Amino acid sequence: MASTTINPTRMELNRLKKKLTTAIRGHKLLKDKRDELMRQFLEMVRENKALREKVEAGILAANKNFVIAKAAMSSEALKVALMAPKQEVFLETSERNVMSVNIPVFEYKTRTSDPNDIYSYGFAFTSSDLDGAVKSLADILPDMLRLAEVEQSCRLMAAEIEKTRRRVNALEHVMIPQTQETIKFITMKLDENERSTQIRLMKVKDMMLAEAHGYND
Amino acid sequence: MYKMAVLGDYDSIYGFAALGLDTFPVGDTTEAAEQLKHLYKGNYAVIYITEAMYNALGEILEQFEEVALPAIIPIPGIYGNTGVGIANVKAFVEKAVGSDIIFNSEN
């Protein structure tokens, strides 16, 4: 597609040739990036799916336990028991760079050194079901954290893959063919100019010869 | 040092308090949206939110999608699993690959 605004000059031709090389190299790099991102993404999304199923099942079970615990205690007693948490979870976050996507990495720390120190109440006035319920929830906490990490990574990677794919397609189907077309147009135009110059020179030579020697054919 | 928050109706989330997560019980969607904005500015790396609230908040959540932190993760509440979590994962695959290749085989 040769638009009317291009100058069929050698300078323009050189510029376009350089642009085409860059575009082809960029296309190759972006394609590699997309493929690698995709590979990592698929790995991660599988883990995400497995973790999500596990966590959802875990929370469901924990919720059941809490319902049972609640049934055995008055809601006031339950509120009092869980009012002042003993444990506190802190997150240390860092970032990992996967193909220019910064995905979060969480590391968690608990306030007390014993991670099992989760019972914020005396055992005398609460139902034993509550212990089980709190324990079941505590057991899935590491998985929940990992889920948060993986799911956020998947979200970010999916966005990046989409962007990269668009770029690859734009280069492959628009940018590169367009530049090639323009280069072809300029080359042909230049050739055409050269031919017409040649012909003009031949014509002029003929005319000059005719004038000098009286040739007339 | 970041912390973790849980947002949702009281019955679904009170247990997390025992584990040392910050719980924020909310009654309705407007309250949840307020609270979420508040949490977003706060020092939280992960915000778990019950699926019921997650569904109700819909559009408000979209503006938080492209940032690295905090991660907003739906979890099933006491009223059961609405499937929005898995649907999300499915949406990621569709966005990245163009069609769903992970979940197809099972359905």
Q: What is the ipTM of this complex?
A: 0.84
Specify the pTM: 0.80
Give the burial class of A26: count Cβ atoms within 10 A of its Cβ; 0-12 exposed, 13-18 middle, 19 or more buried. Answer: middle
What per-residue string of b and e applies to B10-46 under the rule 16 or more CB within 10 Å gives b?
ebbbbbbbbbbbbbbbbeeeeebbebbeebbeeebbb
Contacts of A173 (CB under 8 A, 6+ apart): none
Interface test with A, best of B3, B51, B92 (most A CBs within 10 A): B92
What local confidence, expressed as pLDDT, does residue A172 receive?
A: 93
What local confidence, expressed as pLDDT, does residue A65 receive?
A: 84
Return the number of other C-beta atoms located less than 10 Å from residue B83's C-beta. Answer: 12
Q: Is the pLDDT of residue B107 over 50?
A: no
What local confidence, expressed as pLDDT, does residue A4 receive?
A: 61
The DSSP H or E segment spanning A51 is helix A10-72
For residue A159, the cross-strand partners are: none
What local confidence, expressed as pLDDT, does residue A70 receive?
A: 80
Tokens 């596990």 identify what position? A54
May I ask the CATH class of domain B3-80? alpha beta
Q: What is the mean pLDDT of residues A155-159?
A: 88
Mean pLDDT score of chain A: 85
Q: Is the pLDDT of residue A115 over 70?
A: no
Lowest-confidence segment of A63-67, B57-61, B91-95 by average pLDDT: B57-61
What local confidence, expressed as pLDDT, does residue A177 receive?
A: 94
Q: Tell me, yes or no, if B105 comes closer than 8 A to chain A by beta carbon.
A: no
Decide: A104 and A149 in contact? Cβ < 8 Å. yes
Tell me the domains of chain A and their CATH numbers: 55-174 (1.10.287.3240)
Give A173→chain B minimum CA distance, Å. Answer: 18
List pLDDT tens digits, range A196-212. 999 999 999 999 988 88
Q: Tell me, yes or no, if A156 comes closer than 8 A to chain B by beta carbon.
A: yes
Q: Tell me, yes or no, if B25 comes closer than 8 A to chain A by beta carbon.
A: no
How many residues in total does chain A contain?
217
List pLDDT tens digits, range A7-43. 888 999 999 999 999 999 999 999 999 999 999 999 9
